[in-house]
């Protein structure tokens, strides 16, 4: 288990805040032991929350040309046929994974291949579970063209009511490695996948998936 680099600024701020809170308790409320204990407990709680949120577990995976792997930890909240209007402009199977604040928030490539599209969109911060969040919220879209079969998958990082920071590492021309890191979303959100219609689904709505481990579908 490692601590993700995206959490370092948040950790530093949390440590500074904790030092200030403990110092105030000792200087202004020195006769009151309860104030000291409260400052210790609050500081400890905040540090635990930050550390668990930005945890980066070490996971092994087997690269497979015929499998589409979960790009994030979370719960499958949408599986439906829809019109993808940004890049493909045709019908696709949309799979949405909702990431709660307690999930690991590293985002990974579901397939390997060439990054042929990578774009950031400014937007709103609606609750991520709402259907319109996929097109109205702050988001990124990445399309990878499979190196072996030539099929393409679009996956989208979507910000939510709490997630105000999306990090995307991808750029056009990159070589994507299946299950390799492509970004990070802070404080809970969702990831959408837009898959070819002829894939064989391996998950259903309500399933809990693990990034880089769970097979979402097969080509």
Question: Tens digit of pLDDT per residue, the chain (219 long)?
Answer: 788 888 899 899 999 999 999 999 888 887 878 888 999 999 999 999 889 888 888 888 878 889 999 999 999 999 999 999 999 999 999 999 998 888 888 999 999 999 999 999 887 766 666 666 666 778 899 999 998 899 999 999 988 766 567 889 999 999 999 999 999 987 668 899 999 999 999 999 999 999 999 999 999
C-alpha neighbours within 13 Å on the C-beta side of residue 71: 35
Residue 187 contacts by C-beta under 8 Å, 6 or more apart in sequence? 53, 101, 105, 160, 162, 163, 164, 165
Q: Which CATH number is associated with domain 67-218? A: 2.70.70.10
Query: For the whole prediction, is pTM greater than 0.75?
Result: yes
**Distance between CA atoms of 115 and 176, rounded to whole angstroms?**
6
Would you kindly state where each structural domain of the chain is located, as residue ranges?
Answer: 2-56, 67-218
- How far is the C-alpha of 16 from the C-alpha of 119, rounded, in Å? 35
| Local structure of residue 110 (DSSP, 8 states) | S
Catalytic residue numbers read 189
């Amino acid at each position: 288990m490692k601590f993700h680099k995206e959490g370092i600024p948040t950790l530093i701020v949390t440590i500074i805040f904790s030092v200030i809170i403990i110092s105030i308790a000792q200087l202004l409320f020195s006769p009151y032991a309860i104030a000291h204990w409260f400052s210790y407990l609050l500081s400890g709680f905040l540090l635990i929350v930050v550390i668990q949120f930005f945890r980066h577990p070490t996971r092994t995976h087997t690269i497979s040309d015929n499998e589409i792997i979960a790009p994030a930890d979370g719960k499958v909240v949408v599986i439906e046929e829809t019109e993808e209007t940004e890049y493909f402009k045709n019908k696709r199977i949309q799979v949405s994974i909702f990431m709660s604040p307690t999930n690991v928030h590293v985002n990974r490539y579901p397939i390997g291949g060439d990054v042929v599209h990578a774009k950031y969109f400014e937007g709103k911060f609606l609750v991520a579970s709402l259907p319109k969040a996929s097109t109205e919220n702050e988001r990124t879209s990445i399309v990878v063209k499979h190196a072996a079969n030539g099929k393409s998958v679009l996956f989208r990082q979507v910000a939510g009511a709490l997630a105000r920071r999306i990090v995307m590492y991808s750029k056009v021309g990159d070589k994507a490695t299946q299950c390799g890191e492509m970004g990070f979303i802070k404080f809970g959100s969702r990831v959408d996948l837009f898959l070819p219609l002829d894939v064989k689904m391996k998950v259903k709505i309500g399933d809990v998936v693990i990034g880089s481990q769970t097979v979402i579908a097969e080509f």
